[in-house]
Amino acid sequence: MATKRDYYEVLGLERTASDDDIKRAFKRLAIKYHPDRNKDPDAGEKFQEINEAYQVLSDPEKRQAYDAGGFDAVDGSFGGGQGFDPFGGANFSGADIDDIIKTFFGEGAGRSRQRRRSGPEPQRGRDMRVVIDLTLEEAVKGISKDIKLNVLSTCPDCHGEGTKDPKSRKECPHCHGSGVIVQSNGIFRVQRTCPNCNGEGTILTKPCKRCNGTGRVQQQRTVKINIPGGLDTGQYVTLAGEGESGVQGGSNGDLIAVIRIKEHKLFKRDGDNLYCEVPISFTTAALGGKVTVPTLDGKISLKIEPGTQTGTTYRLANKGIQPPIAGRRKGHLFCTVVVETPVNLTDYQKDLLHKLEQSLSGDESKDETKGDAAQDKGKGSNSQPLGKSFLDNMTEFFKNLSK
């Protein structure tokens, strides 16, 4: 520190300040600039400056000497030279600052030492989470499943007490039954959980051999889960009390079964709606017809309109999933048509397709059936609307490029 500031200025006090004023000012500034709370790079230096000022002004003899002769009148060893820390060197970087404040300045620490604990307090067992894989059919209809769990359960030997002999539970000699260790350091009182009894206030001289005094052991058990129909991936079923056993009479945790639906070969699900692709022949697409499509209720016949293109979607109302929530309507089934291009054609089939192409394009000079075609003149003039539109747009595009 380049230049020392007046100690009264450091604490924000007048020279006539009382001892209580000095103590209150120090507490306020120590909390404000303690490095565990204040992340400012200069906070540590300010905190040490506050400590140094307090060490002098809180001592009547040093204060009188300082008032009379300034810095030279007080021994430097009482200042920052020894790195005095009123917190006793404790590391509170991982603790909540509010808890630190209560521990140092509240009256709780003094009272807690007088309180006795009869043993560990009841604690609720932890919830358990499992993932249940279902097929779409199982999820739609609902199903009951038996699952095996490895779960912390109440020890059958000591019935959760941690010992077969209740008299073996003795008061912890380190904390005298309070569960905490209180250390005094000047005006501060630092309260810590007793490491000998882990804060329980008692120790077991004859712990249960099966659970080693914990009151719980790992056990395998089978649980039946009733899954209602209509649930989707990410939704869950809660079984109250089927989780880990509580400690010392605490309530059991819950079992949470999270649903995960397997991929289906035909359907994709989105909420309560189902989607599927339906392949059709190009002749059915051109002429129309009927195709069989699957639903959750069985097969049904779907009418395909003449001139149907790939990507055309038909909605089958109320052929989706019935949600588990009362009052919500059933979802729909959306069937998207995919026109299938024929492969592995014979020469005869290829010849027929060439003739069809000539007929569609208007080039019927080589077609032996042009007499029949003449009778249908004009009927196929717009037989490929998408192709015609594409060619028109492409022609316009190249014209614009040449401008």
58 in a structural domain: yes
Q: Is residue 208 marked as binding?
A: yes
391 in a structural domain: yes
The backbone torsions φ and ψ at residue 368, rounded to the nearest 5 degrees and listed phi first, read -65, -15
Q: Is residue 172 marked as binding?
A: yes
Crossing angle of helices 19-33 and 97-105, in 10° steps, is 160
Q: Are strands 313-316 and 333-340 parallel, antiparallel or unpaired?
A: antiparallel
Question: Could you give the 3-state DSSP secondary structure of residue 292?
Answer: strand
Which CATH number do you get for residue 143?
2.10.230.10
Kindly report whether the global pTM for this prediction surpasses the value 0.85.
no
Q: Are strands 128-134 and 255-261 parallel, antiparallel or unpaired?
A: parallel
Domain boundary among 261, 288, 305: 261
Residue 180 has pLDDT above 70, yes or no: yes
Per the structure, the complete domain to which residue 76 belongs is given by 7-105
Residue 197 has pLDDT above 60, yes or no: yes
pLDDT category of residue 221 using cuts at 50, 70 and 90: very high
64 in a structural domain: yes
- pLDDT at residue 359 in the model: 82
Domain boundary among 205, 239, 261: 261
For residues 132 and 255, membership in a common domain is answered with yes
Q: Is residue 276 marked as binding?
A: no
For residues 159 and 141, membership in a common domain is answered with yes
Q: Is residue 211 marked as binding?
A: yes
Residue 96 has pLDDT above 50, yes or no: no
112 in a structural domain: no
- pLDDT at residue 254 in the model: 95
Confirm if 252 and 259 have CB atoms less than 8 A apart.
Answer: no
Mean pLDDT over each residue of the chain, to the nearest integer: 81
Mind listing the pLDDT tens digit for each residue in 124-178? 999 999 999 999 999 999 999 999 999 999 999 999 889 898 888 898 998 888 8
Mind listing the pLDDT tens digit for each residue in 254-289? 999 999 999 999 999 999 999 999 999 989 999 999
Confirm if 321 and 235 have CB atoms less than 8 A apart.
Answer: no
Render the burial of 314-344: b for 16+ CB within 10 Å, e for the rest.
bebeebbbbbeeeeeeebbbbbebebeeeee
- When mean pLDDT is compared across 23-37, 39-53, 168-182, 382-396, the lowest value belongs to 382-396
Task: Name the residue with higher pLDDT: 367 or 304.
Answer: 304
- pLDDT at residue 138 in the model: 94
For residues 69 and 134, membership in a common domain is answered with no
Cα-Cα-Cα-Cα dihedral of 234, 239, 243, 247, to 10°?
Answer: 140
- pLDDT at residue 226 in the model: 95
Task: Name the residue with higher pLDDT: 287 or 113.
Answer: 287
For residues 295 and 362, membership in a common domain is answered with no
Question: Could you give the 3-state DSSP secondary structure of residue 101?
Answer: helix
Q: Are strands 289-295 and 298-304 parallel, antiparallel or unpaired?
A: antiparallel
Angle at 89 between CA 176 and CA 203, to 5 degrees: 20
Mind listing the pLDDT tens digit for each residue in 297-328? 889 999 999 999 999 999 999 999 999 888 88
193 in a structural domain: yes
Domain boundary among 105, 140, 165: 105
Count of domains observed in the chain: 4
For residues 310 and 333, membership in a common domain is answered with yes
